Amino acid sequence: MTALDTPVVAPARRAAVRRAGKTGISGPLFVSGYVVLLVAFGVLPTLYAVYLAFTNVRGQFTGLNQFLRVFQDFRFWPAFGDILVYLVFWLLLIVVLTVGVAIVLRSRMPAPLSAALRFLYYIPGALAGVASVLVWLFMLDPSVSPANWLLTSLGLDTFAEVLAPGHLSLIFALIAFWTGAGGWIVVMYGALNNIPQEVLEAARMDGAGPWRLALHVQIPMIRKWIVYMVILAFAAGTQLFVEPQLLQTASLGRVSPTWSPNQLAYVYAFQHGDFNGAAAISLVLLVIGLAGAGLLVTRSGLFKVDEQ
C-alpha cells in the first residue's frame, strides 16, 4: 500500500464500520418493542403461573400437591382425552388437506383459477373466531341450517343429536380447519413456489407423474414449512377454548363446561376461585406444548438453516 492509498481507504473503512455499527443497533431496536411485550405478557405471566402452581393460597410452597390435586379431579383426564382426539382429527385435516390442496392449486390449476380459489379459501380466516363459531352454530342446527338435508341424511335430526359427545371432537376440528386452512394453504403455496422449476422439470423428464412428483419432490422440499405449521397447529389445538365455550353456552349446556383442559382451568379460576389449580393445569398444557414442539424441531432440523 502506498502513502497515496491511505487517505482513500481509511475513510472508506471508517464509513463501513459506521454502517456496520448502525446496522448492529437498528436490529435490536427494531425487535425491542416485541421483546418488551413478550416479557410483559408472556414471560412474566408464565413465571407467575409457575409460582401459583407450586404454592397455596397463603403463598406457602406445596411442591407437586397442586398437580396431584388436579390429576385426581374426575374432569381432568376426560378433558385431556377430548383434546387428544380433537388433535388427531385437527392435525390430520390440516396437514393432509392443506398440503394436498396447495399442491393441486400450484401444479394442476390454471393460474387465474388458482388465484381465485386461494382467495375463496382465505375468506373464512378473515372472520373473527367468535363469528366463525356462530356461523357453525347456525349450520349445525337442523331446524334452521341450509344444509339440513346433509345432517338428516347422516341421521342427525335434532341439534342435540348433532352435539352428541362423540361428535364434538370432529365438529371442533372442522370448525378450526374451516377457519385456519385458508391461511395455511396460502403459506404452503408460497413454499411450493420456492422449488426451482429446473428440479420439477428434471423429475418429469425422469418419468415422475403427479403423485411421485408430489410425494418425492414437492413435499420433501417444503418439509420445514409443514413442520412449522404442525407446531403452531398443535400449540393452538391444545389451547382450544372459544369453540367449546361458545357451543356450551349456545346449546344450553349440551356441551360440558369442562370439555377441554383450558375450559377446566377457566372453571377452576373463575368459578371456584382456585387460581393455584388453574395454574397447575396451565403448566401441564405448557409442558405438553413445549415437548411436542421440541420433538418436532429436533427431529426435523427446522433451524438448521439459521445455524448455518
What the block records as the C-alpha cell of 172 is: 371442533
The cell numbers describing 235, all together, are 400449540
Contact 186, 118 (CB under 8 A): yes
Look up residue 89 and give its amino acid: F
Q: Which pTM does this prediction carry?
A: 0.83
Per-residue pLDDT 10s for the chain (308 aa) are 444 444 444 565 566 555 555 567 888 888 888 899 999 999 999 999 999 999 998 989 999 999 999 999 999 999 999 999 999 999 999 999 999 999 999 888 888 898 898 888 888 877 766 777 788 888 888 888 888 888 888 888 888 888 888 889 999 999 888 888 888 999 999 999 999 989 989 998 888 888 899 999 999 999 989 999 999 999 889 989 988 888 888 777 788 899 999 999 999 999 999 999 999 999 999 999 899 888 888 887 777 765 44
Domains (range + CATH), the chain: 86-260 (1.10.3720.10)
Which CB contacts under 8 angstroms, 24+ apart, belong to 246-255? 246/130, 246/133, 246/134, 246/137, 247/133, 247/137, 247/163, 247/168, 247/171, 250/134, 250/137, 251/159, 251/163, 254/159, 254/160, 254/163, 255/163, 255/168
Instruction: Give the pLDDT confidence score for residue 74 in this predicted structure.
Output: 95
CB-based contact 122:183 (threshold 8 Å): yes
pLDDT the model gives residue 304 = 72
Which string of DSSP letters, residue by residue, matches the chain?
Answer: --TTTHHHHHHHHHHHHHHHHHHHHHHHHHHHHHHHHHIIIIIHHHHHHHHHHTB-TT--B-TTHHHHHHHTSTTHHHHHHHHHHHHHHHHHIIIIIHHHHHHHHHHSS-HHHHHHHHHHHHHHHHS-HHHHHHHHHHHH-TTT-TTHHHHHHTT--SHHHHT-GGGHHHHHHHHHHHHHHHHHHHHHHHHHHTS-HHHHHHHHHTT--HHHHIIIIIHHHTHHHHHHHHHHHHHHHHT--HHHHHHHHHTTTSS-TTSSHHHHHHHHHHTS--HHHHHHHHHHHHHHHHHHHHHHHHHHTTTHHHH-
Three cell numbers, residue 204: 418429469
> Distance between CA atoms of 131 and 141, rounded to whole angstroms?
16
Task: Return the closest-CA partner of residue 261 out of 62, 83, 120.
Answer: 83
Tell me the C-alpha distance between 188 and 99, whole Å.
Answer: 6
Contact 284, 53 (CB under 8 A): no
Residue 244's nearest CA partner among 231, 262, 268, 265 is 262
Distance CA 162, CA 248 (A): 13
Query: For position 14, what pLDDT does the model report?
Result: 62
